[in-house]
Amino acid sequence: MIEKIKNYIVDVESFTADSLEEIEKFRIKFLGKKGVLNEFFAEFKNVPNEEKKEFGQSINQLKTAAQQKVDQLKAELESKQEEKGVYGDLSRPGEPIEIGSRHPISIVKNQITEIFSNIGFNVSEGPEMEDDWHNFTALNLPEYHPARDMQDTFFIQTDPEEILLRTHTSSVQVRYMEENKPPIRTISPGRVFRNEAISARSHCIFHQVEGLYIDKGVSFADLKQTLLYFTKQLFGKSKIRLRPSYFPFTEPSAEVDIYWGLETETDYRITKGTGWLEIMGCGMVDPNVLKNCNIDPNEYSGFAFGMGIERIAMLLYQISDIRMFYENDVRFLEQFKSVL
């Protein structure tokens, strides 16, 4: 009988398992209510007295070996499962690196910049926090002009000097004219701020691209041909119109419309049935602005134009709500993965 127990101990020590089911069967076989150990305990009363001590020690040795084997195999199996959960299947090929997506505002800004760069315009930038001179006074905006009202502009301080968040990138053009002599041919993309209610069509933060060309003999015809080239390149539209308008820093001033067409129901909706869409404002630089920037208006003339990048992006990608540009919704941004 004792020899049989010792054989079981050898079997226990050599046992291996690859699953919890095998370990559980092993446990039941040796440690269960109807297992091997209980059978030996039941036989204990029939063992001669002189063998009981050795018999009892052998049973305890078998019990300890079986319990340790169960604990050991469970620990090893759990360790393997945990490693697999953390690292996955190490034999699998590496995951491909996902390509990120550009923001639609960045896409459109880069497209506009490239179009004007092809005809000699460079890119100029300036601070988003501006003073009164560069944002208003130098641009022929009088002291009591409505644009200076607190309802339209974010003022950071008013005393001793008015500091504000720029309301347009025209302030960059003023700085550029102060630091450079004609001929000047530059565009100024950037973020601007206006104290407006946020809705599907307007936001207090948006982006502009403004252009400026100053040289001898620059005419309104040059402005029109430049804008016609731009609309052909960006929209593929060859028909534009200029409607008289008013801007303090240009004279004469105009609004630029492109003929979008009336081919689809969407065309009717976004053009309100006219086929025409307003895309930007423009005009000849006012002589007072040139004087403020130490440029002789009797020798030089120029034109300027400006457009909202969000508005252009909404037209190109048929986006109905400007707020989508700022909500960082991955479902929205992922649509631009394939766009350079």
Cis amide linkage into residue 142, ω under 30° from 0: no
Task: Indicate yes or no: pTM above 0.85.
Answer: no
Which segment of 1-15, 166-180, 235-249 scores lowest on mean pLDDT?
1-15
Q: In the numeric block, which tokens belong to residue 283? A: 């005009």
- Strands in 184-193's sheet, in edge-to-edge order, are 122-123, 184-193, 205-215, 301-308, 276-285, 250-259, 240-247
Predicted local distance difference test score (pLDDT) of residue 151: 63
The SS3 assignment for 242 reads strand
Report the distance separating Cα 100 and Cα 79, nearest Å. 36
Give me the mean pLDDT over the 290-317 stretch: 95
**Is it the case that residue 143 has pLDDT exceeding 80?**
no
Where is pLDDT greater, at 23 or 289? 289
pLDDT per position as a tens digit, 88-116: 666 777 777 777 788 999 999 999 999 99
The domains of the chain are located at 2-87, 104-336
pLDDT per position as a tens digit, 47-85: 777 777 776 777 788 788 888 888 888 888 877 765 555
Predicted local distance difference test score (pLDDT) of residue 251: 93
Phi-psi region of 95 (alpha: psi -120 to 50; beta: other; left: phi over 0): beta
Predicted local distance difference test score (pLDDT) of residue 338: 62
The CATH fold of domain 104-336: BirA Bifunctional Protein; domain 2 (3.30.930)
Predicted local distance difference test score (pLDDT) of residue 86: 55
